[in-house]
Amino acid sequence: MPNDLPTSHMEVEAGSDYTVSFYLDFMNKRLRIDDYQGNVHAIYERIADVAKSYALTKIFIKSREQDWQFFLGKGCMLEGIYKGYFRGMDAYCMAFYYDLERRTSDYWMEEDQILHKVLALSRKPDRPAVPEHLDLRIALPKDAEKLSRLYSQIFQTYPTPMNDPQYVAKTMQEGTIYYLVESQDELISAASAEINTMYANAEMTDCATLPTFRNQGLMRLLLHALEDELVARQITCAYSLSRALSFGMNAVFYQMGYAYYGRLTKNCDIYDKYEDMNLWAKTLTRP
């Protein structure tokens, strides 16, 4: 594999009887298939060839409902369901591994215990008030530097180069919305929604709060603001992948009405290792 590859690369390939959208994620050694049309037999063979050619250790396909059993028959595993992903139709996360270490979860039982504690919590659908000494607002391009510093402080490693302000600015230009909470011009918490307008879905992601400001309801505040933006833009599906070892973030999504739809094994490099990620999803409706 060439040494000068970018951290990630999206490309759409058209074969004689199919099209497929590849997200080559070199940072996380995985191949993600966000969309495809046509001959699923040819698509699967092509996906496998691409993954092997770049020595990637995980494939996951966002399969349409009519195709997930075909991918299951090829040796893929159903790891989760993106509820309502394709304009109300479900996407099935079908995974295939090329490495035993990547396939093997190191903390599955501990993650189950965390999940059961989360599911025993009470829901908290109400929007918390913005604390008097804090400001909540949508992020602007000039905030890219601040945001990159926040992510650098919180995460030792992260699935995307959020420590690079140019990358953060680029995601804004491509349509990702960020909301942030400030204390006297100090950025203390942020979250984003990565929007797919074609299929009316959005990934709620890049959630980070400085340790001294946690447990104050700030992330619920940010997610409420993001959901309002998404509803205004006619986005109907919100989903998130949360570290399965994080009680706090899983609790936030559960309490805000998201439902648990599976766990993706060693899906990305976050904090300091490949971690399992819980899949949460919610249907957004106008109030």
More confident residue, 8 or 191: 191
| pLDDT(253) > 50 | yes
Which of the following CATH numbers is that of domain 8-103: 3.40.50.2300, 3.40.630.30, 3.30.70.360, 1.10.760.10? 3.40.630.30
- The gap from C-alpha 100 to its chain's centroid, in whole angstroms, comes to 23
Identify the band that residue 17 occupies on the pLDDT scale cut at 50, 70 and 90: very high
> What's the alpha-carbon Rg for the chain, to the nearest Å?
19
pLDDT digits (tens, 9 = 90+) for 171-210: 999 999 999 999 998 999 999 999 999 999 999 999 999 9
CATH class of 108-283: alpha beta
Distance CA 200, CA 85 (A): 7
Distance CA 151, CA 174 (A): 19
pLDDT digits (tens, 9 = 90+) for 23-81: 999 999 999 999 999 999 999 999 999 999 999 999 999 999 999 999 999 999 999 99
| pLDDT(19) > 70 | yes
∠156-54-16 over CA atoms, to 5°?
130
- Non-local CB neighbours of 247 within 8 Å, separated by 6+ positions: 114, 117, 118
What pLDDT shows up at residue 3? 45
Helix, strand, coil share of the chain (percent; to 5): 30, 40, 30
Contact 198, 181 (CB under 8 A): no
What pLDDT shows up at residue 272? 82
Q: Number of C-alpha atoms within 13 angstroms, CB side, residue 75?
A: 8
Portions of the chain given CATH number 3.40.630.30:
8-103, 108-283
Largest CA distance in the chain: 60
What pLDDT shows up at residue 250? 98
pLDDT digits (tens, 9 = 90+) for 216-240: 999 999 999 999 999 999 999 999 9
- Of the listed ranges 99-103, 121-125, 161-165, 253-257, the least confidently predicted one is 161-165
Contact 251, 118 (CB under 8 A): yes
Q: Give the DSSP H/E element, type plus range, for residue 211.
A: none
Distance CA 101, CA 95 (A): 15
Contact 155, 204 (CB under 8 A): no
Distance CA 168, CA 177 (A): 11
What pLDDT shows up at residue 4? 52
What pLDDT shows up at residue 8? 86
The two three-digit tokens of residue 246, written as one number:
């994080």
pLDDT digits (tens, 9 = 90+) for 112-160: 999 999 999 999 999 989 999 999 999 999 999 999 999 999 987 888 9
CA distances from 6 to 2, 42, 160 (A): 10, 27, 11
